[in-house]
Amino acid sequence: MKNDLNLTDFLKDVFSSFDEKVENSGLVSICVEIPCIDLFQVYELLINQYPFSSFWEESDGISYIAFEKCKYVTLDGPKRFEVAKEFNSENFKNLINLTNESHNYALSKIIYLFSFSENLNNKNLPSDIPSLEAILPKILITKSGKNCWLRINGHVEGKSSLRTLIEEIWTIRNQVINSGSELIKSSGLKTSFDSPFIDDFSRSLETSKTNMKKVVKRGIQLVEKDILEKIVLANRIKIKLKNKLDLVEILKRFKKKQPNTCRYVWKRNSKDILFGATPEKLFSFSKPNLTLEALAGTISTNSNFKKLLKSTKDLKEHNYVIQHLIKSLEVSKITNFKKSDIKVNSFGDISHLQTLIFSKVENICPFELLKNLHPSPAVCGYPKNVALDWINTLESFPRGNYASPMGWVDSSGNASFLLAIRGARCIEENIEFTAGSGIVSGSVLEKEIDEIKLKFESIVKQIFCAKNPR
C-alpha cells in the first residue's frame, strides 16, 4: 500500500479518532502504511536532517530507521534495566494511537542502548557514555519483507498542533515515497581504498600487540590457576580520521559482504556515531516465540568448518554460553524450551559456532530477561562477577557500548536485542575499533591474538573498502 491515499481523507480520519480518544491534549502516535522502500536510500535522504538517528536492518525480521527524540531518558547510574522498564511502561501507557495498526510489525517501538556495564567498580576508567539511553523516536520507519510503515509520535495541544503533526508525517511520507528519484542511484558499491588510513591502522595494530599479548597472557594464567573458567578480553585501537566516512555506503557494504549479520547505527549526533554489523543476537521475542542465541567459538570462513566443530577449546567456550542462557531462562521461570543442533554459521570473513534455544511463552519482561542474560560468557566470562572485575583490571579502557545490548520493545511487549560488536565508534575526529577473544583452558596465546586481529580486519576493510590491512 498505498500511493492513492490523499491528505484530506487522512486528516479527516485522524481528527475523528482524536475526537474519540483524546480530551484535548496528549502524547499521540500516527501511523501510515507506505510502499516498500529501500532503507539505505531513505536513511541517506534523511540522516542529515536530524541530529539523532538509529538504524537496524536484518534480512529476517523487523528492520527500522528512527529519527529524532519524542520522549527519552538517559541514565548514568545503577538500576538501568529497572529504569528502562519504568520508562517503557509509562510511555506506552500514555501513548494514544490515532490510527489502526494494520500489522503487529507496525506497532509503536521504543529503542534502547545500554552500556556494557555500569562501571561502578571501575572509577579509574570513567566511561563517557550513559548506562542507558531509551528513546521513543519522533519518526519511525519500519520494514518487514515487502511491508513498510511510517509513524510519527508527538505531544499535541488541541487540533491545531495535531494538524501540524499530520502535515509533518505527510511531508515525510512524500519524501520517502520519492526517495528513489531524489537520490542519484549508484550502479554498485564504491571500491576506492583509503590507503593512508589502512597504513595508520596497521601501525597502531602492530604497536598495540605488545600490550595485547600481555593482557591475553594474564587471562590465560587466570584460567590455568582456576581463578576463572572463562574470560573475554578485548583490545581497542583509536585512529584519527582523515576523511569523513560515508556511513550509508558502509552499511551497504556490510549487507553485501557480511550476510547474516544485523546492521546497526546509534547516531547521537554528527560527532558521536556507533555502528557495525553484529553476528550476535541476545534474544528476540515475537509472541509467543522466544529465541535465544549462543554464539561463541571462532574460525576464519576460509578454514575447514569441521576443525571448529571438533575443537575442544571452542566447544568448551560455546558450552559456557549455552549453560548461561539456560540458567537465565530458569531464573525467569521458563523451563520448557528446545535447543537446536550446534552448527557453524558464517558472517562474512568470520564464522562462529551457533546454537539456538527456543521457547513458547505468553509474556516476558524483556528488561528482566536482559538483566539475567547480560553480560553473557560470550562477551564477559565465567563466573560473571569475577570476570567483570578482571576485565576492569586488565583492560586499559572502559568498554562503553562495546558488546552492549541494543534493541527495541514494541507496545505489545515484543522485543529484539543484539550485542553491539563488530563495529566502530566515530567520536569527534577519531574512530575507535574494539575486538576481543574468549579464553578458556586450552587457549593458546598466538591463536587468541590472531582471532582478535581477524575481527579487527573484518570490520576495518569494510569501512575503508580495502583488502586485508597489512
Average pLDDT score over the chain: 92
pLDDT for the residue 323 = 97
- Side-chain-side CA neighbours of residue 113 (13 Å): 24
pLDDT, tens digit (0-9, with 9 covering 90-100), for 190-203: 545 566 778 888 88
User: Is the pLDDT score of 182 beyond 60?
Assistant: no
* Residue 159, all three cell numbers: 487540533
User: Is the pLDDT score of 361 beyond 90?
Assistant: yes
User: Is the pLDDT score of 345 beyond 50?
Assistant: yes
* Residue 258, all three cell numbers: 557480511
pLDDT for the residue 109 = 98
Which one-letter DSSP state was computed for residue 145?
Answer: T
Q: What b/e string do you get for 166-176 counting C-beta neighbours within 10 Å, with b at 16 or more?
A: beebbebbeeb
User: Is the pLDDT score of 186 beyond 60?
Assistant: no
Mean pLDDT value across residues 298-305: 92
pLDDT for the residue 187 = 40
Longest dimension (CA), the chain: 73
Q: What b/e string do you get for 433-442 counting C-beta neighbours within 10 Å, with b at 16 or more?
A: bbbbbbbbeb
User: Is the pLDDT score of 394 beyond 70?
Assistant: yes
Residues 408/109, Cβ–Cβ less than 8 Å:
yes
Confidence band, pLDDT 50/70/90 cuts, at residue 469: very low
Confidence band, pLDDT 50/70/90 cuts, at residue 268: very high
Q: Which residue, 36, 53, 35, is CA-closest to 44?
A: 53
pLDDT for the residue 2 = 55
pLDDT, tens digit (0-9, with 9 covering 90-100), for 407-449: 999 999 999 999 999 999 999 999 999 999 999 999 999 999 9
Q: What percent of the chain has pLDDT over 70?
A: 93
pLDDT, tens digit (0-9, with 9 covering 90-100), for 161-176: 999 999 999 999 999 9
3-state secondary structure of 136: strand
In degrees and rounded to multiples of 5, residue 256 shows phi and psi of: -80, -40
Mean pLDDT value across residues 62-88: 96
Confidence band, pLDDT 50/70/90 cuts, at residue 77: confident
Beta strands in 229-378 (DSSP E): 230-240, 262-269, 272-278, 281-286, 289-300, 337-339, 343-347, 350-360
Mean pLDDT value across residues 361-369: 95
Instruction: Collect contacts of 430-433 with beta carbons under 8 A, ≥24 apart.
Output: 430/238, 430/239, 430/240, 430/241, 431/238, 431/239, 431/241, 431/245, 431/463, 432/236, 432/237, 432/238, 433/201, 433/236, 433/237, 433/238, 433/239, 433/459, 433/460
Pairing of strands 96-97, 63-75: unpaired
User: Is the pLDDT score of 123 beyond 70?
Assistant: no
* Residue 386, all three cell numbers: 569475577
User: Is the pLDDT score of 99 beyond 50?
Assistant: yes
Confidence band, pLDDT 50/70/90 cuts, at residue 183: low
Residues 369/332, Cβ–Cβ less than 8 Å:
yes
